Amino acid sequence: MMNDNQNTLEQIMNEIRSNLSGDANADLRYIHEQMETYKNHELAKEIIRACGRLMSEIMPEELRQKMQEAMKKDFGSFNDTIRTVHEKIDAQEFETALKLMEELVEKIESLHGFEDDSVSEYRYFHEPFEEILYLHTAKPEKEVRHAGIDYTEVYMLYGSLLVEHKQYEKAQTELRKGLHYNPADFFLAMEYIETFKALGKIDEFFRLTKEAFKIAFRRDYIARCYRNLGYYFIEKQLWSEAVSCYLMSQVFEPDASQAANELFYIEQKTEGKVKQPSARQLHEYAEKYGFPLGPDGDILRIAYSYGKHYMDQKAFEPARYFLSIAYDLTEDDTVKKMLDTISRVS
């Protein structure tokens, strides 16, 4: 449903479009004039952005290529900086890496290029499931547009370096900026959650970890969530609950050593007095503390329904993508048969 601002913007842009002549050069001049006309309008930012998109649609191919080359140059500089930061981190030159990221973030933020406005919000998703998960859970009223900069990587790197320098509150601020652009980025969310552990805010660490199950759409993501819960219960000296969570972690990531190491620690700490919890106890703990047993139900429904939809449309690659997520989480025989069918026909 469009809000009043969206309706107004659409009306203005429809009027501008209706006056286009088909002569690219004349139309570009006309659109530029309209940008000037509306520069003091209450929706000036939105109109100017929409006019910019319209200009991109109609400009001659030669001019478009020149603009693309200029953008590639800018992005090349951006990518070079990110690459250099990774090199400095690998060399443990954290001070230099942090300085480079501070300069990059300052430069990017000064552009104000992909800030939300009254009709659009800008996001940067790394894969389709992140975007679909966001749309299903947030149900945004504004139009979701692609941000041209990978803000999630920028703020993840910057936040991680701030954590390395023990600037935890500032790290939280920067990581939240990244989560604004991609609320479904699991690794970014985990980095943010870890700052609460570092600050000793263990209850908030616990609460946010339970929320993270809602974006944990891979087995190792779920395992990580359970390990976080296990850490919380160790801190509270709730040994049986901790064992339960680490065992659940092993269900979803059997080869990870972290859970095994913590289970060994608990055994040593309690002198082997904590027995393996029963299935009934596990359900009781999940209900009492408010964490799920297994994948989030919405994630499973989305993965299966989208996979089935694309399967019915004979769009086999997207069907394989979504059904693979569903099967990875459930190892369901019905989903496996659908994937086998796709392998035979595609």
Which residues lie closer than 8 Å to 98 by C-beta, 6 or more apart? 161, 162, 164, 165
- Read off the pTM: 0.83
Profile the chain (346 residues) by mean pLDDT over runs of 10 residues.
76 91 86 88 85 81 64 66 94 96 92 83 96 95 89 96 97 98 98 98 98 98 98 97 97 94 96 92 97 96 97 96 97 96 90
What is the pLDDT, as a whole number, of residue 78? 82
Query: Two tokens at 207?
Result: 């609460």
DSSP assignment string, 200-239: T-HHHHHHHHHHHGGG--SHHHHHHHHHHHHHHHHHTT-H
Percent of the chain with pLDDT over 90: 72
Half-sphere exposure (Cβ direction) of 33: Cα atoms closer than 13 Å: 9
Residue range 54-88, pLDDT digits in tens: 887 887 777 666 655 665 555 557 888 999 999 99
- Say which DSSP state 163 is in: H
Largest separation between any pair of C-alpha atoms in the chain = 83
Return the SS3 of 318: helix
CA-angle at 49, arms to 45 and 51, nearest 5°? 120
